[in-house]
Amino acid sequence: MLKKLLGIAPNLEADGSYSPSKLALKLATVDNTDFENVSYTKYHGSKSKILVIFTEQKNMKMQNGKLFSTGNHPVETLVPMLHLKNAGFDFEIATPTGKPVVLEMWAFPEKDEQVKSLYNEYKSSFERPKNLQDFAATSLSAQESYAAVFVPGGHGAMLGIPEDKNVRKILNWAHEKELFTVTLCHGPAALLATTLNDQKFLYAGYNMAVFPHSVDKMTPKIGYLPGQVPWELSEKLASLGATIVNTKADKTVCLDRKLITGASPLAANELGKLAAETLLKELK
């Protein structure tokens, strides 16, 4: 009752999961993003496609058994996509089994007209995405059409994606064909898929920005999460040999070889700019 009065009680949803408290939403979400409408020299070559890997799972079971209502974060998804679209790239939307994309709609920036416009443009693709298994079976031979793989963040990126053998195939394909891999916040959980079948972590020795577990550990205090996360993403990546370049959930972005990463939702605009500029420079 006291937590409700203070606005720090997570909100109970109809399916029994919890979304962030009033205070957490006030502190951690925005009505308008900081998207910069950069005028890029558009890419017109053959490598115009970007595969975007989304989660199809909504609820994360916390250590205390409560369910967190998650998915992919809309700002972390749509702001980088806006930059890449403005730079001349198009997207193929995919989930592990072709079920609809799940977004954290409680974090949607309702007053941001450019974000809303892009969301509406791809809404049908979010509702009927490609199946990753089909993509892995049929499209890996068409690397000449692709520039990058993008995995948006949100805690939902920790659900199913790190254990998906098709994600492993696709990340290895991107690495071998020298495509870029772009991800931010909790999205780097996808990189763990490269360790499936007892394989060496593909990104050992890489610098990367990722949402710090130290911050995840603190957020239940304001009701952002209804409990502690089931496992520690940044610590897991570090234990496998990644060098985490940020200590805060801030605007940090990082480019190391063909891997482009960002630290948090606050980094979405900077990540989008870095990805667009890097791809345009590389694909000249």
Contacts of 193 (CB under 8 A, 6+ apart): 161, 162, 163, 164, 165, 167, 168, 171
Residue of 225, 167, 219 lying closest to 196 (CA atoms): 167
Percent helix, strand, coil in the chain (nearest 5)?
40, 15, 40
Residue 252 falls in which region: left (phi positive, over 0), alpha (psi -120 to 50) or beta: beta
Please say whether the beta carbons of 276 and 261 come within 8 A.
no
The one catalytic residue in 185, 189, 249, 268 is: 185
The structure tokens listed for 228 are 């502690």
- Partnered with residue 131 across adjacent β-strands are 95
Active-site residue 185, yes or no?
yes
Residue numbers annotated as active site: 185
